[in-house]
Structure 1
């Protein structure tokens, strides 16, 4: 059975005028970009259904990148793998990025944040996005990958430029290709240096050891290392800024965190629900699939509007409100199913430690609205600027 679907454009500038959840006509819509899934229940079903494949390669091809090393990387990457190969590639990284690693890194995180914050002026408004948000994830990547800390600006730039693909602006193709070429060269040099100097207990050494043990091919080693670097910084950068922006503007919630820092993890999850950086997760129907009474033809683009699912009144009571004690709060910000985000535990801990630092050292901090701009591009939330008066 096929029904007439309402129109919806998930990447339009005014998309947030939709409050969240299903439209009056239902949870599935159709527009110039393809199908859009708006409800939490249907979004969860699509993200867990292996018949809907990752759209990253098609997006790259839409940019005119249809062959060459960048296309080869994406077509053989973990994002595009399914079945036994996906499990084989994902399992080692999932173990390395598991809860033990995440908890063990807290001490290093606190030291990195303290070093970054040492340059802030406690008596004047500071560029929190530039000084903390944009610098922290790349420093964490260098720590985890066993790269020199001074490489952090390069890592941040490479992550931002490669993933500018998600802005859905084909004019950025030359920027993207140049960034990947630079990223490949950087990783080749870093891997060669590690092999020459001896492996450690870092993530890149771990992948090299997997290759030497015959569990990964040389191409798979570089593909996994590339995927980890490209995803290392830019999304966590913006999500951290969104967390700080949201919590500092809600003074009642902020005061509760100051009085009881144990509430910080729950506060982070609620911000992730309300302001998810990956606002849209795109999939492609690998075959004809019936979805909510509509047959989605094979090859169709299906966009899961994460921000809408996260604000679905059928799943979340008072969905537009910040509710610190919200029960069973499991938003789709990091996706779900077999392709959920490998680095979500680390990203949460980074955000928790940033908020914890502010709570401990600058409990009176406030957002300077004139120096702050939050926007959207390609269906994703982004921090254009974030100015904070620390009020020491």
Structure 2
């Protein structure tokens, strides 16, 4: 171990004033010292923080690093003491390794192909147009989060899974509660259990009366109702929260970079490239944790078996060795390969769905309202805390010329 090895003594919980899109400065500084740092957890566990692109990507692809829930004993912000962490419930495959992970993911792969997601484009266009019409009618001011960013992915994922439209509000509220990072542990657990209870009812309803949706398609497999409930929870949460925050935060970023906004508005051919750059630049899924199953050499250091490693995706996607001038939003950037959807066996199953929604909704919004702008000073925009699993804005007041 080299003497110059950097140590980050505490996980930052705030972003720099005036820089809502950049990672916390302490993480940027850690990356400047090198791609890997020591990180002492509040529990006293001596772990690691990986901030460089190449090393983060290699860990995500290395099955010697586990994502099993029962191994996640150390939290970067809180010392929970000697608690026993149970394994992930059946079906919640993001917190599992092989072969359990593939048992749940494999039946879903064909449901989220590029081709199948592109077939959804027309429906996404209609949902987007409906909400833009409603904004226009109610305007010329709106909270873009509640009027646009949340409803679009919520409706799409609910329709894919067969969640009745009238239940969407109930689902969205509970998902907001246990992913928002701003409630007590009791409230979080209550929202999680309420969502599980609802999904159990949904699976039972599909058993009794299958419909044309992904959840009903899985009824012919050997998956149990408990497993189907867990799979549905993962898909609902991931299919809604990440995209909703990308839509709102992405709009905020474009409004704060008017030259880039103008480029996207005037050049429709730029859309796909622009979406990839926004995904890289914002990295709303900020970090993942892994635990070494055996001693592993990483970046010239030995990660001992049982050690927890924090993977900082937002600094990896801002690594100057991979992305020149990484802190600049450049919609014409040619460098692909960002890690916004993770990498390896846990790479986001719904990434093509998210791309379709972003490619449709963002251009539709900025073209429908050519004078779209913030209705409050940028520093007054309410941001999600760093404690939330997914970064974003809590509300985004906007206005336009009627």
Describe how 1:180-199 pairs up with structure 2 within 5 A: 180-197=192-209, 199=210
Pick one of 20, 40, 50 that aligns with 1:37. Answer: 50
Cα drift, residue 302 of structure 1? 0.7
Question: How many Å separate the matches in 2 of 1:226 and 1:51?
Answer: 27
Question: How many Å separate the matches in 2 of 1:176 and 1:37?
Answer: 28
Cα drift, residue 325 of structure 1? 2.1
Partner residue in 2 for 1:85: 100
Partner residue in 2 for 1:47: 60
Change (3 A) 1:385 1:331: same
Cα drift, residue 354 of structure 1? 1.4
Cα drift, residue 57 of structure 1? 4.5
Question: How many Å separate the matches in 2 of 1:375 and 1:173?
Answer: 17
Partner residue in 2 for 1:202: 213
Pick one of 144, 151, 161 that aligns with 1:128. Answer: 144
Partner residue in 2 for 1:113: 128
Cα drift, residue 83 of structure 1? 2.7
Check conservation: 1:20, 1:309, Cα contact below 8 A: no
Q: Does 2:379 match 1:378?
A: no
Change (3 A) 1:243 1:351: same
Check conservation: 2:91, 2:229, Cα contact below 8 A: no
Partner residue in 2 for 1:307: 314
Q: Does 2:398 match 1:388?
A: yes
Check conservation: 2:72, 2:291, Cα contact below 8 A: no
Change (3 A) 1:24 1:109: closer
Question: How many Å separate the matches in 2 of 1:59 and 1:382?
Answer: 25
Pick one of 255, 264, 268 that aligns with 1:261. Answer: 268
Cα drift, residue 3 of structure 1? 5.8
Cα drift, residue 322 of structure 1? 1.8
Describe how 1:151-162 pairs up with structure 2 within 5 A: 151-162=167-178
Structure 1 stretches lacking a partner, 5+ long:
none
Change (3 A) 1:45 1:306: same
Pick one of 167, 176, 179 that aligns with 2:191. Answer: 179
Change (3 A) 1:239 1:146: same
Cα drift, residue 327 of structure 1? 1.6
With normalisation by structure 2, the TM-score equals: 0.86
With normalisation by structure 1, the TM-score equals: 0.88
CA deviation profile, 1:218-245 (whole Å, cap 9, x unmatched): 3322221222223232222212111111
Question: How many Å separate the matches in 2 of 1:325 and 1:250?
Answer: 13
Cα drift, residue 81 of structure 1? 2.9
Question: How many Å separate the matches in 1 of 2:187 and 2:119?
Answer: 36
Q: How many corresponding residue pairs?
A: 380
Partner residue in 1 for 2:19: none
Q: 1:326 is paired with a residue of what secondary structure?
A: coil
Cα drift, residue 336 of structure 1? 0.6
What is the aligned-residue RMSD (CA, Å)? 2.6
Check conservation: 1:102, 1:345, Cα contact below 8 A: yes
Check conservation: 1:43, 1:309, Cα contact below 8 A: yes
Change (3 A) 1:93 1:274: same
